[in-house]
Amino acid sequence: MLIIMRQGATEKDIEKVKIFIEKKGFDAHISIGEVHTVIGAVGGRVIDPRDIELIEGVKEVIKITSSYKLVSRVFQPEDTIISVKGVKFGGSNIGMIAGPCAVESYEQMDKTAQALHKSGVRVLRGGAFKPRSSPYAFQGMGEEGLEIMRAVADKYKMAVTSEVMEISQIPLFEKYVDILQVGARNMQNFNLLKELGNVRKPVMIKRGLSATFEEWLMSAEYIMAGGNREVMLCERGIRTFERVTRNTLDLSAIPVIKKVSHLPILIDPSHGTGLRDKVIPMSRAAVAAGCDGLIIEVHHDPDSAQCDGAQSLYPEQYDKLYHSIKKIAPIVDKRVL
Ligand code: PEP
Ligand code: MN
């Protein structure tokens, strides 16, 4: 249920509504907008909306039939803008994230970050715990990987993002990482999502391999319902019958999500296509379609990468990509950070 307050409703009015719904067992999530304040009532028992409509300052009560509430544009009409060390995702901003698939060594991270730093990258990616299809494939360096990434990022004054695979790893991520990534395979790990609701750092949730938009948004709802407002979505390609590309990058996610949700939507053309030569064209298309950020796999020496070398750009290719999307962004009233 969403409670829209009148323009000019006082803090006292809002507090009264909050107390009323909390007494009925609801959690109150307040969104202060430019014109109206909206209170999302989540959980709780069946309630007669007229009881709330009678409270001073209430404009209307909307019963939500769609299963997601807090991620919805009805709850918050304005775009959510997430700021990480000065890099913004959402609104008119396109935030850039780049780095290798996995942290492999200090030297590899340092060489890659040094090149990316020159191209203006301020958020570094790199997996320390890797969800691999084969148990015999490189599984990531674990905590040591996070340590390396943090040290390298600090050297170049960058923020870092990395994938958290299970609840027990969260404290480590709170220590080393600025944006916690939920991988495609964990999109519906509801226990993990609930715990991430208690974290006070941004979470980027990737779309599951065969997840519908509704399922994806519901997963984001889990994190928001736990109290974490800083959630961003990342389309990384879905499983279709096509085999030429690793996945089918569904760029329609951008207008679809933008219409129903206020959360930033990022595109990962690296996993979305699986092929290096497709990454620049699909990044350009994503920017033209209005994405709020890109996450790109880049390796200083992709031919020697432990994983996803074929979809990793050479640093000079990233530089070319960056300069080309910088030109496209203003056409759709955006700027690249
Ligand atoms: C990754 O970003 O390295 C990754 C494993 O992505 P996804 O979860 O989209 O497969
Ligand atoms: Mn990868």
Give me the DSSP letters along 198-229: T-SS-EEEEPPTT--HHHHHHHHHHHHHTT--
Residue 55, helix vs strand vs coil:
coil
- In which element (H, E) is residue 286 found? helix 276-288
Query: What single-letter DSSP state applies at residue 327?
Result: H
> Of all protein residues, whose CA lies closest to atom 9 belonging to ligand 1?
184
Residue with tokens 């990480």, as numbered in its chain: 84
Cα–Cα dist 167/164, whole Å: 8
CA of 270 to the centre of ligand 2 (A): 7
- How far apart, in Å, do the first and last CA atoms of the chain sit? 36
* Model confidence, pTM: 0.92
Express each pLDDT in 172-213 by its tens digit.
999 999 999 999 999 999 999 999 999 999 999 999 999 999
CA of 70 to the centre of ligand 2 (A): 30
Dihedral sign, CA of 101, 106, 110, 113? positive
> Of all protein residues, whose CA lies closest to atom 3 belonging to ligand 1?
101
Q: For residue 267, which ligand has an atom nearest its CA?
A: 1
| Ion ligand 2: protein residues whose beta carbon lies under 5 Å | 101, 308
Query: What single-letter DSSP state applies at residue 136?
Result: T
Contact status, residue 70 vs residue 39, Cβ threshold 8 Å: no
Q: What is the pLDDT of residue 299?
A: 98
CA of 186 to the centre of ligand 1 (A): 10
Express each pLDDT in 14-36 by its tens digit.
999 999 999 999 999 999 988 89
Ligand 1 nearest-atom number relative to CA 181: 2
Place 45 in a pLDDT band, splitting at 50, 70 and 90: confident
Ligand 1 pocket residue status of 183, Cβ below 6 Å: yes
CA of 311 to the centre of ligand 2 (A): 8
Which residue type occupies 2?
L
Ligand 1 pocket residue status of 206, Cβ below 6 Å: yes
pLDDT at 44 exceeding the cut of 90: no
Residue 37, helix vs strand vs coil:
strand
Q: Which of 111, 113, 110 is nearest to 97 (CA)?
A: 113
Residues 6+ apart with CB under 8 A from 155: 110, 113
Ligand 1 pocket residue status of 334, Cβ below 6 Å: no
C-beta atoms surrounding 166 within 10 Å? 12
Which residue among 180, 189, 192, 268 is best mutated to probe the pocket of ligand 1, counting the most ligand atoms within 8 A of its Cβ?
268
Q: Which of 196, 198, 199 is nearest to 183 (CA)?
A: 196
Q: Detail the DSSP E strand segments found in the chain.
A: 2-5, 26-32, 37-43, 58-62, 82-84, 87-89, 93-99, 123-125, 159-163, 179-182, 203-206, 231-235, 265-267, 293-297, 335-336
CA of 3 to the centre of ligand 1 (A): 37
CA of 132 to the centre of ligand 1 (A): 9
CA of 102 to the centre of ligand 2 (A): 7
Ligand 1 pocket residue status of 131, Cβ below 6 Å: yes
Express each pLDDT in 110-155 by its tens digit.
999 999 999 999 999 999 999 999 999 999 999 999 999 999 999 9
> Of all protein residues, whose CA lies closest to atom 4 belonging to ligand 1?
183
Query: What single-letter DSSP state applies at residue 329?
Result: G
Ligand 1 nearest-atom number relative to CA 234: 9
- Could you tell me whether strands 2-5 and 37-43 are parallel, antiparallel, or unpaired per DSSP bridges? antiparallel
**What mean pLDDT is reported for the chain?**
96
